[in-house]
Amino acid sequence: MIDLTIADDVATVVLNAPARLNALDEQALAELGAAYDAAESAGVRALVLRSEGRAFCAGRDISGVDPRDDDVIGYLGGRVTPLLQRMSRFPAPTFAVAHGACLGVGLGLLIATDVVYVAESAKIGSPFAALGATLDSGGHALFLDRLGAHKTLDLIYTGRLMSGTEAVQSGLFSRVLPDDEVVQATADAASRAARGATAAFLASKSLVARIRDERLALWDAVGIENAAQAALCDTDDYREGFAAFQQKRTPEFRGR
């Protein structure tokens, strides 16, 4: 179900159950978490999450779920949320390729990723009206923050799905690309990040998370930026970057 390959300091994690649109059951969630653990243990400097088939991830695999005894809190609170938190804290830049259906937990996987490149074919929204369920895995927070209350509830009430182009134009994700280009473009971006100054990238990743989660005011954020910049002065990559600039050459960062 979950494949992991590592090459040139980049981990590629692939959801590989195309027959069920990469829907995730508890075993698949555990395998996905294990793949991230293995990538971190290998010391990769970037990670790509993508999938096989015609959908990125259609959400939870409910094919065998009986709603009369469904342990929703156990699945969402006990399995999904800890995984998404773990993904969001991965100690390197992370990238995702979104194509086809990106729904429910699948949308959550994208929310937990640093940079998401979206295929034109992507379908993003809240299809749960037909199930008598509600949007989960961080979808409400993402939509409300980027789309506002009216458009968020319109998507939820109607079940309308946004195209990849509309999702990016609405500010949900990073960039929209043709379907036949998005995988390579994402791999190229991850490869560039893996050759970059990892500590500086992680400082920005932490800053963005704090500004978002703590709703920091401008000058509070500036103070944290200043401290982060001072801490980077002690890294090899900071010194290499300055030396390369002064010597008019391309820097050779080593992620230290």
pLDDT of residue 133: 82
The mean pLDDT of 222-232, rounded to a whole number, is: 94
Question: What average pLDDT score do residues 194-218 get?
Answer: 95
Helix, strand, coil share (%) of the chain residues, nearest 5: 50, 15, 30
DSSP 59: S
pLDDT mean over 158-187: 95
- For the question of whether the overall pTM of this predicted structure is more than 0.75, the answer is yes
State residue 204's pLDDT score: 96
- 119-168 pLDDT, tens digit per residue, is 999 999 998 887 778 888 999 999 999 999 999 999 999 999 999 999 99
Share of the chain above pLDDT 90, in %: 79
Whether 233 shows a pLDDT value over 70: the answer reads: yes
Instruction: Say if CB 128 and CB 104 are below 8 A apart.
Output: yes
- Rounded to 5°, the CA angle 104-105-108 comes to 100
CA distances from 91 to 203, 205, 217 (A): 10, 9, 26
- Which residue has better confidence, 115 or 243? 115
What pLDDT is recorded for position 80? 93
pLDDT at 131: 78
Task: Give the residue-averaged pLDDT of 183-206.
Answer: 96
pLDDT of residue 66: 67
pLDDT digits (tens, 9 = 90+) for 27-83: 999 999 999 999 999 999 999 999 999 999 998 877 777 677 777 888 888 899 999
Cβ count near 159 (within 10 Å)? 13
pLDDT at 202 over 80: yes
Question: Who's near 35: CB < 8 A, 6+ residues apart?
Answer: 2, 3, 4, 11, 13
